[in-house]
């Protein structure tokens, strides 16, 4: 099977997959969720099997932050899942990746291009009694020598409590004929597809971001990895973190309440926890219910970059979020949800936001809306932007410029880059590759 050559071929194939799957998702009251239990004492939402995930409360203190203390609901899913992509380097030409057309209830458009395997531990141990996960065998008991990337990474620390997934890229040793719903896509085409809104799902973006430079043919890899000064700055940010986050009963979270079948903040901002009924014909089971987290508005994820002496640098911000496993991680220059900022006029807009909301003419290099994890988040979308400026402006406290070669080095290790930063790094890769 030759794989696809053009964006239109992939879009056409995805349309066919959408018809094949015919799945729908619709909001329902939390109280009506089948197989889910609203604990009368704690208010926590959990699955009757005790598996999958739960929605609990978290109490956060951040004495040095703009908001020194708050409560919020958070998704608790302590298992480490597998996000894996099979790679094929057996042919002359760019590395090809085995992608899946996958429906997720929270994704705009439903079906997006996903990793070969995207499985929670519950999934692959088949807690729900579903069918086996296709291609999973390539990612379990794997030969370390055929691994291109294999690293535990965090996911949204504002919404997940210490969620980690294993991001894997494994080279297939044998020729693989894709099953129905799967296809081979070469790297240059994947990077073009990143410029189409809501097409490469979040899991695909985070895994591809972890690909080593040598698998990203045509992409610059100058430099020698993370500098000591950069590592020291990160250690300092992490040591200085005073944020604490402690799980509490969901019904003890101040300013959040269950109302009209949903859990909402009294400001109307941030996000809502709602119930969703999914009806499916092409998935493991034909219908299920689940709670989801729905942000009240789209976000902005923006990176300021500059080009000096042939290398690209990006301005990163140290971010500690309630769900971080090990203190601060590096986020993009800007990461915020404008609708919620507007509801809290007492809070200052984050530095550099204007560079993205009102960019200088000709400075925007990337501007595409992408969606976040569609299995837990309901229509969570961010506008990913890369804005180029002329030279490194001075970095305020909590910000620092990093070279792309440093970013590549961080990607090999856990918990340096948050999930938004990993997505934006892939956008940068696509820009650099387009110029190569």
Which of 134, 138, 130, 140 is CA-nearest to residue 100? 134
Of residues 195-214, those binding its own copies (CB under 8 A): 212
Which residue in 151, 158, 417, 425 binds its own copies (CB under 8 A)? 151
Mark the segment that binds its own copies (CB under 8 A) among 2-10, 90-98, 145-153, 306-314. Answer: 145-153
Of residues 157-196, those binding its own copies (CB under 8 A): 166, 168
- Cβ(324)–Cβ(420) below 8 Å: no
**Of 158 and 234, CB closest to its own copies:** 234
Question: Whole-angstrom Cα distance, residue 159 to residue 73?
Answer: 8
Question: How many angstroms separate the Cα of 134 from the Cα of each of 145, 151, 180, 211, 417?
Answer: 22, 21, 11, 22, 29
Judged by DSSP in three states, 254 sits in coil
Question: Whole-angstrom Cα distance, residue 166 to residue 421?
Answer: 17
User: The tokens of 329 are what?
Assistant: 């991680």
The answer to whether residue 230 forms part of the interface with its own copies (CB under 8 A) is yes
State CA 355 to chain mean position distance: 23
**Of 34 and 392, CB closest to its own copies:** 392
Of residues 326-365, those binding its own copies (CB under 8 A): 326
**Of 279 and 414, CB closest to its own copies:** 414
**Minimum separation from the CB atom of position 114 to its own copies (A):** 20
**Of 200 and 226, CB closest to its own copies:** 226
Which residue in 64, 80, 254, 348 binds its own copies (CB under 8 A)? 80
Pairing of β 381-388 and β 299-308? parallel
The answer to whether residue 225 forms part of the interface with its own copies (CB under 8 A) is yes
**Of 17 and 237, CB closest to its own copies:** 237
**Of 30 and 421, CB closest to its own copies:** 421
**Of 126 and 413, CB closest to its own copies:** 413
Binding-site size for its own copies (CB under 8 A) equals 30
Instruction: List the x/- string, 404-423, binding to its own copies by CB under 8 A.
Output: --------xxx---------
- Cβ(30)–Cβ(274) below 8 Å: yes
Pairing of β 24-28 and β 311-319? unpaired
The answer to whether residue 243 forms part of the interface with its own copies (CB under 8 A) is no
**Minimum separation from the CB atom of position 327 to its own copies (A):** 9
The answer to whether residue 142 forms part of the interface with its own copies (CB under 8 A) is yes
Which residue in 238, 289, 343, 383 binds its own copies (CB under 8 A)? 238
Which residue in 226, 292, 293, 428 binds its own copies (CB under 8 A)? 226
Residue 179 φ/ψ, nearest 5 degrees: -70, 170
**Of 229 and 362, CB closest to its own copies:** 229
**Minimum separation from the CB atom of position 228 to its own copies (A):** 5
- Cβ(292)–Cβ(44) below 8 Å: no
**Of 129 and 144, CB closest to its own copies:** 144
Which of 139, 132, 144, 122 is CA-nearest to residue 51? 122
Long-range pairs, 425-429, Cβ under 8 A, ≥24: 425/209, 425/314, 426/191, 426/194, 426/205, 426/208, 426/209, 427/194, 427/303, 427/366, 427/368, 427/384, 427/386, 428/303, 428/305, 428/312, 428/314, 428/366, 428/386, 428/404, 429/191, 429/209, 429/216, 429/219
Mark the segment that binds its own copies (CB under 8 A) among 69-77, 147-155, 272-280, 292-300. Answer: 147-155
Mark the segment that binds its own copies (CB under 8 A) among 137-145, 291-299, 361-369, 386-394. Answer: 137-145
Q: What's the DSSP call for residue 53?
A: -
Spell out where 215-268 has E strands. 244-248, 256-259, 262-265
Which residue in 152, 344, 347, 392 binds its own copies (CB under 8 A)? 152
The answer to whether residue 145 forms part of the interface with its own copies (CB under 8 A) is yes
- Cβ(365)–Cβ(387) below 8 Å: yes
User: The tokens of 187 are what?
Assistant: 């790297």
Which residue in 129, 229, 309, 310 binds its own copies (CB under 8 A)? 229
The answer to whether residue 236 forms part of the interface with its own copies (CB under 8 A) is yes
User: The tokens of 186 are what?
Assistant: 């070469």
Residues that bind its own copies in the complex, under the rule CB under 8 A: 80, 142, 144-145, 147-152, 166, 168, 212, 225-226, 228-233, 235-236, 238-239, 325-326, 412-414
């Amino acid at each position: 099977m030759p794989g696809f050559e053009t964006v239109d071929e992939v879009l056409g194939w995805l349309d066919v997959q959408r018809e094949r799957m015919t799945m729908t998702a619709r909001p329902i009251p939390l109280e009506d969720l089948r197989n889910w239990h609203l604990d009368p004492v704690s208010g926590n939402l959990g699955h009757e099997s005790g598996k999958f995930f739960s929605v609990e409360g978290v109490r956060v203190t951040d004495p040095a932050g703009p908001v020194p203390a708050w409560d919020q609901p958070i998704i608790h899913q302590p298992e480490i899942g597998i996000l894996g992509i099979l790679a094929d380097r057996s042919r002359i030409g760019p590395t090809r990746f085995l992608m899946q057309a996958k429906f997720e209830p929270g994704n705009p458009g439903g079906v997006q291009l996903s990793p070969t395997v995207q499985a929670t531990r519950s999934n692959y141990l088949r807690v729900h009694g579903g069918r086996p996960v296709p291609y999973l065998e390539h990612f379990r008991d794997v030969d370390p020598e055929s691994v291109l990337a294999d690293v535990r990474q965090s996911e949204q620390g504002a919404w997940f409590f210490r969620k980690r997934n294993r991001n894997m890229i494994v080279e297939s040793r044998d020729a693989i004929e894709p099953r129905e719903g799967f296809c081979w896509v070469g790297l240059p085409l994947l990077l073009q597809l990143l410029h189409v809104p809501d097409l490469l799902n979040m899991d695909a973006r985070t895994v591809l971001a972890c690909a080593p430079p040598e698998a990203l043919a045509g992409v610059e890899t100058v430099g020698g990895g993370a500098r000591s000064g950069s590592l020291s700055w990160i250690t300092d940010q992490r040591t200085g973190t005073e944020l604490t986050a402690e799980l509490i009963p969901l019904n003890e979270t101040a300013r959040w309440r269950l109302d009209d079948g949903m859990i909402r903040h009294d400001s109307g901002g941030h996000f809502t926890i709602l119930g969703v009924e999914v009806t499916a014909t092409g998935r493991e089971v034909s219908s299920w219910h689940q709670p989801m987290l729905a942000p009240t508005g789209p976000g902005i994820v923006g990176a300021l970059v500059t080009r000096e002496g042939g290398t690209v640098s990006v301005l990163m911000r140290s971010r500690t979020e309630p769900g971080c496993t090990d203190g601060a991680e590096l986020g993009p220059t800007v990461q915020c949800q404008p609708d919620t900022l507007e509801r809290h006029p007492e809070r200052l807009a984050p530095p550099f936001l204007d560079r993205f909301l009102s960019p200088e003419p000709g400075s925007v290099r990337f501007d595409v809306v992408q969606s976040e994890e569609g299995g837990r988040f309901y229509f969570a979308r961010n506008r990913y932007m890369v804005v180029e400026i002329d030279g490194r402006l001075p970095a305020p406290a909590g910000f620092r410029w990093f070279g792309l070669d440093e970013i590549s080095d961080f990607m090999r290790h856990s918990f340096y880059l948050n999930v938004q930063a990993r997505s934006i790094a892939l956008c940068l890769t696509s820009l650099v590759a387009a110029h190569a």
